[in-house]
A = this chain, B = another copy of it.
Amino acid sequence: MLQIEPRLTLVDLTHLIAPQDLWAARFHLMNAVPYFPQGTVHLAVVDPGVGTARRSIALAFAQGWLVGPDNGIFSGVLDRFPPQRAVALTNRGYWRVQDPSTTFHGRDIFAPAAAHLAQGVDLENLGEKIPLETLVRISLPAYHRHENQIVGCVQHIDRFGNLITNIPSTALPSPDQPWWVELKSDINRVTIPSALAYGAVPQGQLLALVGSHGWVEIAVNGGNAQAMLNVSRGSTWVLSIIFDD
């Protein structure tokens, strides 16, 4: 990219997504993109389908541009910011080489496209327009409310072992209404009180709180909730927020 545009400001969001973990990439992009400057070009490469028929794409949205594989990686961003225009990266004039690697489009197709966008090249120059409704989208099961419960799931586990649910803070009852979380498996039930910050409960104790990206999360003050509860993403535990109605 610096070969194309030496004045770029490069920011690495993360290189620690587990191989092929589209869901983690979706989560990090969704949460990080809003904090970048207006006009940023976001390049993302978690690309298990590289070299197959999956399209290479670039999109315009309210905050800037997205460049990567058309495999759902941008779904979280696009749930918040609808896509405005999209192209398939079919214009070989903007590829690094005429015969790109079948295993690394990040280097040969996406990165040059991103650098050219940052340089001011029009999105439409990079390839054929594609209908927005044909973009591949992936999505979580929705949380649902049932009487005085909200039933959801764990959508991400961060490096602190915090369990981040798919329930946004906006789904919670009003601030003065108490709530707590219940996790149920076939043989077990754990009730977890809500609090405002990790440090609001004693060291080593479980709590539920609204995390930094606005999702209800389950944490342990000074500890690791994943290790303590042995819950993984997509596990069969039933997760409910319960409140006094």
Contact = CB atoms under 8 A, between A and B. Distances in A.
A237 to B, nearest CB: 23
A11 B3 CA distance: 13
Given A37-B6, A211-B103, A48 B222 contact: yes
A35 B222 contact: no
A171 interface: no
A228 interface: no
A200 to B, nearest CB: 7
How many of chain A's residues touch chain B, expressed as a range?
35 or more
Contacts of A20: 222
Interface of A: 2-3, 6, 9-12, 19-20, 35-38, 48-52, 54, 101-104, 107, 159-161, 196-200, 209-212, 221-222, 224
A220 to B, nearest CB: 10
Contact of A10 (B11, B37, B49, B161): B11
Contacts of A3: 35-38
A86 to B, nearest CB: 22
A192 to B, nearest CB: 16
A2 B6 contact: no
A74 to B, nearest CB: 19
